[in-house]
Structure 1
Amino acid sequence: MDGAVAWLTAQGRSGQWGSVPWSQRPESVARAEEACREQLVRVAERAAGGGDALGMCVLSEEAPSYAPPVAERELYVRWLVTDRVHSGSGIGSALIADALREARRRGIDLLRVDCWAGGGGRLVEQYERLGFTRTATFTVDRPAGPWPGQVLEQRVPHDC
């Protein structure tokens, strides 16, 4: 997470996660620890060279409170983070493919995610390239200013 914050800040996109590394924010450390205890965490690792983490995806059957409810079971991507050093190598795509397989294994037909809609919408477009379609927008009020968000969804194919 710290690497992602550093990269976003260097790109002028500190509005997404701020500019302070997650490991230096007690509330962020607590959120990560809670996710590891209560949600499904998938980690993409390098097979050779010591198993370095290349990315992670956190999945939950419970959507965050700001996401509009749906009338069916869903699997929600709570976090998807990849190491920017390996950008373009398909890590995010592989983690989403794994999330789709997990949803299918659970008998769930809907995969949803939300993301920061600022920065010209580039992250929203990335999720669209991964097969998601836009649904609802939302805003989270924060002391640092409003955080614009976008919820996206993808139907789970039966052959994944």
Structure 2
Amino acid sequence: MTITIREGGPDDLPVILGMLDSCVEWLVSQGRTGQWGTKPLSESARTVESVTRSTAGGEVFIAEVDGAPAATLTLADSPGPSLAHLPSPGEPERYIHWLASDRRFKGHGAGSALLAHAAEVTRRAGVSLLRVDCYAGDDGKLVRYYESHGFVRTETYRGTDDWPGQVLARRV
């Protein structure tokens, strides 16, 4: 098994939305519907617009396992408009958006490879702060996933419909 990371872009939107839909399907099968609900995210105009905006304004990366798209993330210079209420870190940052994997590749390390790549890209850009936000409800597995990759909890927040969120940061 070989993991390679390539740059992505707007043409990858269907692949990215497919990965997000795969995540929703997997979360629903686990009874964990609080994060993204029960319907495919590709059917949500708001989500499609957010992913489109993110991919157009950031650096998109696709991890491929043996040539097949397996995971994605986008790096940007800020958390974006939905988190404008968060305090500024007071320094340049890179911010991870839309980390997701096709659940057929769960356990293959594609997400971990993307997080390592994001840290390296951030470091090469001369920026030392990498941040991400995620769902902090249910069993907290997602927060612990980021912590296992060197991130530490910073701000806790409540999003739309009282959605529990956690911002995490990592020095690179």
TM-score, with length taken from structure 1 = 0.88
Counterpart of 1:19 in structure 2 is 38
d(CA) in 2 for partners of 1:109 and 1:67?
A: 19
What does 1:59-138 align with in structure 2 at a 5 Å threshold? Answer: 59-64=75-80, 65-138=84-157
RMSD: 1.2
d(CA) in 2 for partners of 1:45 and 1:100?
A: 18
In structure 2, runs of 5+ residues without a counterpart are 1-19
The alpha-carbon distance between structure 1 residues 116 and 106, as it changes in their structure 2 partners (threshold 3 A), is same
Structure 1: 4+ residue segments shifted above 4 A: none
Deviations 1:10-31 (A, max 9, x none): 1111110111101111121111
d(CA) in 2 for partners of 1:71 and 1:61?
A: 13
Conserved? CA contact 1:67–1:151, under 8 Å = no
In structure 1, runs of 5+ residues without a counterpart are none
Deviations 1:92-150 (A, max 9, x none): 110011101110111000100110000121110111111111111000132xxx10011
SS of match in other structure, 2:164: strand
The alpha-carbon distance between structure 1 residues 54 and 66, as it changes in their structure 2 partners (threshold 3 A), is farther
d(CA) in 1 for partners of 2:51 and 2:167?
A: 21
Deviations 1:31-88 (A, max 9, x none): 12112211111001133xxx32100011101123243310110000112111222222
Higher helix residue share: 2
The alpha-carbon distance between structure 1 residues 141 and 22, as it changes in their structure 2 partners (threshold 3 A), is closer
The alpha-carbon distance between structure 1 residues 87 and 105, as it changes in their structure 2 partners (threshold 3 A), is same
Counterpart of 1:33 in structure 2 is 52
Counterpart of 2:9 in structure 1 is none
Counterpart of 1:9 in structure 2 is 28
TM-score, with length taken from structure 2 = 0.83
Among the aligned pairs, what percent are the same residue? 43
d(CA) in 2 for partners of 1:74 and 1:115?
A: 17
The alpha-carbon distance between structure 1 residues 46 and 90, as it changes in their structure 2 partners (threshold 3 A), is closer
Residues matched between the structures, number: 150
d(CA) in 2 for partners of 1:136 and 1:60?
A: 19
Conserved? CA contact 1:41–1:56, under 8 Å = yes
Compare relative contact order (CA 8 Å, sep 6+) and give the higher one, 1 or 2: 2
